[in-house]
Structure 1
Amino acid sequence: MHSLIIAEKPELGRAIAKAIDGPSKEVRGVIVKKNVTITWAYGHLLRLCEPDEYDAKYKKWRKEDLPICFENWKLVPDGNKKERVMQIMALIEQCDQIIHAGDPDDEGQFLIDEILQYAQNTKPVKRVYINDNTPANIKKAFHELIDNDEKLIAIGRSAYARAVADYVVGINYSRLYSLALRRSGMSVGRVQSPTLGLIVTRDEQIDNHVKQKYYEWHVDGALLHEDVLIPFVFKPKSDLLDDGKHILHKEILEEIAQQVHQQDVQKVKVEEKEMEVRPPLPFNLAKLQAHMNTKCGFTLAKTDQITQTLRDKYQAITYNRSDSQYLKEEHFTEADKVLPHVMAKLQESYPVDYQIHSECFNDKYVTAHHAIIPTMSDFPIQALLPDERKVYEEICRYYIMQFLPPIKKRQVIASIKSEQGELRAVSTFILDEGYKQFFQPEKEDDGDHEETDSGKFTLPKGNYEAVLQEDVFVEKETNPPKRYTQATLIKDMTSIAKYVKDKEIKDILKKKDKGKKGENGSIGTSATRSQIVETLLKRGYVVMKGKQILSTQLGKDFYHLLPDEIKTADLTAKWWVIQEDIKEGKADVKTLVDSVLEAFIPHLKEDLSHVKVESVPIDDKREAVGICPVCGNKIVENTKGFGCVNYRNGCKFALWKEDRFLQGIGKTMNKAMAEKLLKDKYCLVKVMQEETESIKILQLGIRNGRAVYRLLDYQKTQ
């Protein structure tokens, strides 16, 4: 019997081939071994048909044609993937059975099922679940094949239902509001619109913030019979807090202080505890994107693209679009081979201890994918571009950290109880710096959440007596929340449930992500979040100002115009419930689509003729030289350079033809250079230096929304 294995991606297909004994040769994305043929998809090979592919009348947008919906949404090969689809269909004809090797999640099930359905396959199909690409795990998985029966196909059908429903939302709401506002490109989406809502709400909280004064009570306590002064800060009970966080009236604290002072000598309890702070977990894609945005200013899309290059071109890292920060036990046993290889490649050395079993090694927390870590690939590291190397090195170092000791701390806590709260003092001492001797992760990533020190003091644990000294009432002001960066935005996309007020919806969103460490009531996926942010920039709903991402007046006006069912995360929760019913055979695709139409149709009766949105529309017909790396709109050529069409809405990005830096190396920006820099963020240039011509790398960077350059030595690699 000849089997055809269809994997979801090349990395998995080649890993399966390596796990099967015997010689092999890859030809045009197909590997033949004994009585097995292995091939793979490249993500989704099929797409849903556009409305005008059903009927040409839909090419013109008209309100009377809404809602647009079809009983059967057809799938067709996506763009240049038709040849691959035909190739797989031919392989299906030649085999006796098929082994479905999509990722072990809803989307992975659908991705291969849709190919089989498009090919009208009638041959038997088995299903293999591969969570990890190590040879031992792959061999084990192939000994546990199951039938790809109706129960599994229903799981894929739920993912198809979501894809159709998303399409119906996008087509109908986007056309309705584009027509009503008389401007094209007013896109709406189940994930896009709530993400815009996060930014708009944050900006309005900041813009409308009114500073309020609040007060803290600080007082030193002199211990009797001890030469120690303890700096206490009063921690009130929650029912005393005026706004849930602060005491806004100084008189309240003065009255509490007076009551406490009625007792001349205070009883002080001193406790002591030791704690360990473990290294941050390895990266999933969202954490890596946030980290690179904070540390290096990389956009989410840039980090996504670099990880794709590291995986596909160099096989330097494991699957890059993972939502998991955990690893299998197999990775722990392989670490003594992987880490020496990685450290040699980095030319760095650390005192790793292979007996340290990090919390990241936990089979039950590995979802369809595991954390992003380096591989044993023997690629030339000097071939990496500077920014590619930065991403690779961070992935490596966060993995190396798992085998370094934790930070050890001793904390001394002194407290004086009262009816209204307690006076509390905390002092922390580092006993062992652990991994922080070598690495300094961002504070938000290192798990270090103990109380802030009120001042240094040390005492053995026990009970003491103290006399309180002069009171100090510190006046402070409330601060607005911080503007979003792409880093903080993607973190909130993974935990948007915390902003949902409806308890039922909040619980559903969290239930949806049950078992997913790093996702806690989320919208979007690791593969789509950067695209969502790029779309918001491209539409002019938001702009970048340095590292901050701000909503435009257009974005604010449009968000407030949208109906509640679209602009909140509620839709994701409600759809998930229906999708679960589809998996169990209690609902079908029509059930989900009908819920979309039911919410949409009443809006057709609304009169939006009086509604206007601010901001200058972008309707520039000039040829695009590239995409603006700041706001996502197109870059066009003008007499002075290559600028963004979104300049009237605040985007200042441009590549000037007579740039001083370029003139300094004897260059003028031309169209070919601009295209290359916008696409790859670098280009090769010939530079005359002291009568010697040399090839250099001209690298494009962005600072405060403007182009900056630097020149690097070019080392030609094989």
Structure 2
Amino acid sequence: MKLYIAEKPSLGRAIANALPKPHKNNDGFIEAANGDIVTWCIGHLLEQAEPEAYDPKFKKWAIADLPIVPEQWQLVAKSKTKKQFNTVKKLIKSAETIVNAGDPDREGQLLIDEMINFCGATKAQKEQTLRCLISDLNPSAVKQAINNLKPNLDFLSLSVSALSRARADWLYGINMTRMSTIKGQQAGYQGVLSIGRVQTPVLGLVVYRDWEIANFVSKPFYEVEAKLNTQAGASYIGKWQPSDACQPYMDEEGRVLVKGLAENVASRVKNQSGEVSKDKSTQSKKSRPLPHSLSTLQIEAAKVFGMNAQSVLDTCQSLYERHKLITYPRSDCRYLPKDHYKERGSVVDAIDTISDKLSAFTGKANLEIKSSAWNDSKVGAHHAIIPTSKKSSGALSQNEQNVYYLIARHYLAQFFEPSVYAEREIHTLIQGGLFTSKFKSLIDKGWEVLFNKQEKGEAELTQLPMLQKGEQVQCVDAQVIEKHTSPPKHFTDATLLAAMTGIARYVTDPEIKKILKETDGIGTEATRAGIIELLFKRQYLQRKGKAIHSTEIGQSVIKALPESVGRPDMTAVWEQSLEQIYQKSQSYNQFMGSVEVHLNRLLQDTQTASFQGLAGKGKASFKRFKKGKRSAGKGKSAVKSPRAKSKA
């Protein structure tokens, strides 16, 4: 008997639908006509054991007991899904061949592997276990995946990477949350101070941005614009480009801060003749955008439709599991396998049927074009999110229509030519000063026909006169334009997600910044939305319109903790290490050893930190806290555990 273990019931049913009929539906599994069985987890059937499972004394939170580091890690079956756990366990024991059909990502790999190991599979069963990678729930795609099973051992490093992440997050979250909570309560805070190796740096991004805005002092800077007349009577505007000699009077962004310098330039060039030193016309092509990953989809949906990250993820899950209109959504990849190219016709036909906004363009798509999106070397465990070939959708909600439209639009763009721009640049020399004039115009929309101007926010540009190199012009006027520096903007869902994926911009250490430019940021495609929502739930963040602000509690937490806890440097390096474990260039023991060393240092720093800013804040969420059950023995603080679980 071949046993397929899916991550969720919806995936299990999709697998069963691709197996020989008739089927026999049982409690927690489906049996196919050929004897194969499909069962499923309900998300995680197992979870990390609580600290008190290792030692009853850990039920009380005491600084003296930290750090808590298990010698032998333990998993326990979740009580809410114990019935399904027992079903899967029984089936594993009787299976001839096991197929890991977890979602095609790091967590999906580990989730099923843990069940196989925990439920007592034999060594032979483990060695013969197969892997089924399904990213499209439509019957033809599922059958193709079932016919292309791979050895599960080929994905061992992916599972080890996920295990490393889960255990490191447990160590960090449990220990730092306990230390911070005890210290906070000693200072008069009510409740639990949840700390996580991803959530706290994300909170830090918002807090530091809010502080930067609050403390921002606008400074004036100055530009010089010259009005230039040609001998033929045409006119154009040139903008002064400060030379290297002006560097002492400029900021790091190249803005002139001394008004007298700008005024001197304006007076020197006014009513003076100049000469055209360059007049260059070129054409440039703008490549079509790649298909979406989850993060890029969430960012675009926030910009175009104002959807938050969690809403986009939930909508994607519905489009994937319920409607089967898109491929696996929790993807960090923007490329497609070359084999998918042969399905382009049926996918475009499906888009024509389902999306009213795009049906006017499907007939114009050139299906002979093969963009750079089809690249096997850049596809890992999963590929970009694209529409499936399914044409019948049933009724879609407004959110489902909007998200499908964004996914389908990026896919359809692959079959349109690049857009073409005419670019013009004029350099004019006046009294030794350089003035530039630039023009850019869209002359062939290409793929941009799918993207309207309102979404792109393009500005109208003014045409420049035709000139010749060496031509003489006259500066008839020169003006000093005073502008003021603006504070950075508050984060929104879109910009916070972009910050998490492009975290290198917010890293202070230059060496780490250099390394992290090659990584995918902090958190994963599957967890980023949940992390953001978790910060709102814990009253660390709040929304004001589209803007995301930190609360007093959130700011007090970052202020109290060691600075490194609220910065992304550490967690970004962790993400790189987890990728190295997957690529087999770093071991589990190396990574976990470094985590323990760093954790010890952070706990020491947190113990000596001041949490006085949290006095009087918070609200006890658990009766045990309301009763004031705290104890302190021999100078060591201890509190009753609220059994609050810390997440990344």
TM-score of the pair, normalised by structure 1: 0.75
Aligned to 2:399: 387
Q: Helix, strand or coil: the match of 2:385? A: coil
Q: Helix, strand or coil: the match of 1:148? A: helix
Aligned to 1:653: none
1:337 to 2:380 alignment = no
1:252 to 2:258 alignment = no
Q: Helix, strand or coil: the match of 1:381? A: coil
Q: Helix, strand or coil: the match of 2:463? A: coil
| Contact 2:202–2:500 (CA under 8 A) maintained in structure 1 | yes
Give a deviation string over 1:236-258, Cα, whole Å, max 9, x none.
34673521121111222344456
Aligned to 1:161: 164
**In the alignment, residue 319 of structure 2 is paired with which amino acid?**
L
| Contact 1:270–1:463 (CA under 8 A) maintained in structure 2 | no
Question: CA–CA distance in 1 between the matches of 2:11 and 2:397?
Answer: 26
Aligned to 1:591: 593
Aligned to 1:502: 509
1:399 to 2:422 alignment = no
Q: CA deviation at 1:270?
A: 0.9
Alignment equivalent of 2:242, drawn from 233, 236, 239: 236
Question: CA–CA distance in 2 between the matches of 1:105 and 1:270?
Answer: 52
Q: CA deviation at 1:476?
A: 0.6
| Contact 2:222–2:482 (CA under 8 A) maintained in structure 1 | yes
* Cα distance change, pair 186–409 in 1 and its aligned pair in 2 (3 A): same
Question: CA–CA distance in 2 between the matches of 1:523 and 1:238?
Answer: 38
| Contact 1:19–1:136 (CA under 8 A) maintained in structure 2 | no
Q: Helix, strand or coil: the match of 1:193? A: helix
Aligned to 2:367: 354
Question: CA–CA distance in 1 between the matches of 2:296 and 2:152?
Answer: 36
* Cα distance change, pair 472–603 in 1 and its aligned pair in 2 (3 A): closer
Alignment equivalent of 1:223, drawn from 230, 237, 243: 230
Question: CA–CA distance in 1 between the matches of 2:616 and 2:551?
Answer: 8
| Contact 1:3–1:98 (CA under 8 A) maintained in structure 2 | yes
Q: How do residues 76-155 of structure 1 correspond to structure 2 at under 5 angstroms?
A: 76-102=76-102, 105-122=105-122, 123=125, 124-128=127-131, 130=133, 133=136, 139=144, 145-146=150-151, 148=153, 152-155=155-158
Q: Helix, strand or coil: the match of 2:612? A: coil
Q: How do residues 617-636 of structure 1 correspond to structure 2 at under 5 angstroms?
A: 617-619=618-620
Aligned to 2:524: 525
**In the alignment, residue 435 of structure 2 is paired with which amino acid?**
L
**In the alignment, residue 513 of structure 2 is paired with which amino acid?**
K
Q: How do residues 172-191 of structure 1 correspond to structure 2 at under 5 angstroms?
A: 172-182=175-185, 183-191=190-198
Aligned to 2:51: 51
Q: Gaps (5+ residues) in structure 2?
A: 624-648
| Contact 2:169–2:196 (CA under 8 A) maintained in structure 1 | yes
Q: Helix, strand or coil: the match of 2:517? A: helix
Q: CA deviation at 1:338?
A: 1.7
Q: How do residues 309-324 of structure 1 correspond to structure 2 at under 5 angstroms?
A: 309-324=318-333
Q: Helix, strand or coil: the match of 1:324? A: coil
* Cα distance change, pair 320–358 in 1 and its aligned pair in 2 (3 A): same
| Contact 1:425–1:455 (CA under 8 A) maintained in structure 2 | no
* Cα distance change, pair 121–596 in 1 and its aligned pair in 2 (3 A): farther
* Cα distance change, pair 65–336 in 1 and its aligned pair in 2 (3 A): same
| Contact 2:581–2:588 (CA under 8 A) maintained in structure 1 | yes
Aligned to 1:474: 481
1:283 to 2:283 alignment = no
Give a deviation string over 1:321-351, Cα, whole Å, max 9, x none.
1122222333332121122222223343323
Aligned residues: 602
Higher helix share: 2
Question: CA–CA distance in 2 between the matches of 1:148 and 1:419?
Answer: 72
Aligned to 1:575: 574
1:364 to 2:377 alignment = yes
Aligned to 1:643: none
Aligned to 1:423: 435
Question: CA–CA distance in 2 between the matches of 1:615 and 1:358?
Answer: 59
Question: CA–CA distance in 1 between the matches of 2:121 and 2:63?
Answer: 40
| Contact 1:237–1:420 (CA under 8 A) maintained in structure 2 | no
Q: Helix, strand or coil: the match of 2:32? A: strand
Q: Helix, strand or coil: the match of 2:283? A: strand
Q: Helix, strand or coil: the match of 1:323? A: coil
Question: CA–CA distance in 2 between the matches of 1:61 and 1:372?
Answer: 44
Q: CA deviation at 1:542?
A: 1.4
Q: Helix, strand or coil: the match of 1:349? A: helix
**In the alignment, residue 430 of structure 1 is paired with which amino acid?**
L
Q: Helix, strand or coil: the match of 2:303? A: helix
Question: CA–CA distance in 1 between the matches of 2:146 and 2:266?
Answer: 67
Question: CA–CA distance in 2 between the matches of 1:154 and 1:346?
Answer: 40
Q: Helix, strand or coil: the match of 1:61? A: strand
Aligned to 1:25: 23
Q: CA deviation at 1:584?
A: 5.1
* Cα distance change, pair 431–611 in 1 and its aligned pair in 2 (3 A): same
Q: Helix, strand or coil: the match of 1:72? A: coil
Q: Helix, strand or coil: the match of 1:189? A: coil
Q: CA deviation at 1:48?
A: 0.5
1:170 to 2:173 alignment = yes
**In the alignment, residue 463 of structure 2 is paired with which amino acid?**
K
Q: CA deviation at 1:546?
A: 0.8
| Contact 2:355–2:401 (CA under 8 A) maintained in structure 1 | no
Q: Helix, strand or coil: the match of 1:71? A: coil
Aligned to 1:538: 537
* Cα distance change, pair 141–463 in 1 and its aligned pair in 2 (3 A): farther
**In the alignment, residue 618 of structure 1 is paired with which amino acid?**
K
Give a deviation string over 1:300-336, Cα, whole Å, max 9, x none.
2222212212222221221121122222333332121
| Contact 1:508–1:573 (CA under 8 A) maintained in structure 2 | no
| Contact 2:168–2:592 (CA under 8 A) maintained in structure 1 | no
Question: CA–CA distance in 2 between the matches of 1:607 and 1:287?
Answer: 38
Q: Gaps (5+ residues) in structure 1?
A: 514-518, 623-718
Question: CA–CA distance in 2 between the matches of 1:164 and 1:523?
Answer: 17
| Contact 2:271–2:477 (CA under 8 A) maintained in structure 1 | no
Question: CA–CA distance in 1 between the matches of 2:408 and 2:225?
Answer: 45
| Contact 2:276–2:426 (CA under 8 A) maintained in structure 1 | no
Question: CA–CA distance in 1 between the matches of 2:348 and 2:324?
Answer: 16
| Contact 1:48–1:76 (CA under 8 A) maintained in structure 2 | yes
* Cα distance change, pair 503–604 in 1 and its aligned pair in 2 (3 A): closer
Question: CA–CA distance in 1 between the matches of 2:588 and 2:603?
Answer: 22
Question: CA–CA distance in 1 between the matches of 2:410 and 2:372?
Answer: 13
| Coordinate RMSD, CA, aligned | 3.4
Alignment equivalent of 1:308, drawn from 317, 339, 359: 317
| Contact 2:104–2:135 (CA under 8 A) maintained in structure 1 | no
Q: How do residues 453-468 of structure 1 correspond to structure 2 at under 5 angstroms?
A: 455-459=462-466, 464-468=471-475
Q: CA deviation at 1:379?
A: 4.2
Aligned to 1:296: 305
Aligned to 2:631: none
Q: CA deviation at 1:394?
A: 3.0
Question: CA–CA distance in 1 between the matches of 2:96 and 2:338?
Answer: 35
Question: CA–CA distance in 2 between the matches of 1:5 and 1:387?
Answer: 33
| Contact 1:128–1:141 (CA under 8 A) maintained in structure 2 | no
Question: CA–CA distance in 1 between the matches of 2:141 and 2:461?
Answer: 53
Give a deviation string over 1:264-285, Cα, whole Å, max 9, x none.
4413311111123344333222
| Contact 2:421–2:442 (CA under 8 A) maintained in structure 1 | yes
TM-score of the pair, normalised by structure 2: 0.83
Q: CA deviation at 1:558?
A: 1.2
Question: CA–CA distance in 2 between the matches of 1:481 and 1:109?
Answer: 40
* Cα distance change, pair 170–415 in 1 and its aligned pair in 2 (3 A): same
